[in-house]
Amino acid sequence: AHVFVYGTLKTGQPNHRVLLDGAHGRATLRGRARTLEPYPLVIAGEHNIPWLLQLPGHGRCVAGEVYAVDEQMLRFLDEFEGCPDMYQRTRLTVAVEGPAGGTVQCFAYSTATYPPEWLQLPHLDDYDSQGEHGLRYNPRENR
């Protein structure tokens, strides 16, 4: 399966290490990518968590990374992302950068169960926990 990550799982972001841990299964980077359709990507809640809202056609085309994952890693990520209570694993199409690019159908962890006022938050297109928004991600171990 292919998984598109757009938030704290990206390279250089606070939860990336879980993709590198062989005890969780295997994840192989296929490349950087961007969603074909726009989505609202917001930072919300007291812990400044990034959320892709399940409302295609609104927001911006979102940048991230595509990983090929095995069954074990997919199950691990479902649990890690609190699927289906926090995020739901949904399907979307992304365009992978580079000569070996093209469009790929992926899973992504988005949410359809968000407070309506979240739609008024600024819509990002390339999440960085250290970005100019100043909304530092609060890691789970600190909650």
Is 107 a binding residue for ligand PCA by CB under 6 A? The answer is no
Alpha helices, H only, the chain: 17-20, 71-80
Q: Which of residues 64-83 bind ligand PCA (CB under 6 A)?
A: 81
Token pair in block for residue 96? 């992978």
For residue 99 the two structure tokens come to 């000569």
Whether 132 is catalytic: no
Contact map string, positions 24 to 53, toward ligand PCA, x by CB under 6 A? --------------------------x---
Binding mask 3-22 for ligand PCA (x = CB under 6 A): --xxxxxx------------
Tokens (6 digits) for 78: 């479902």
> Which residues would be at the binding site for ligand PCA (CB under 6 A)?
5-10, 50, 81, 87, 109
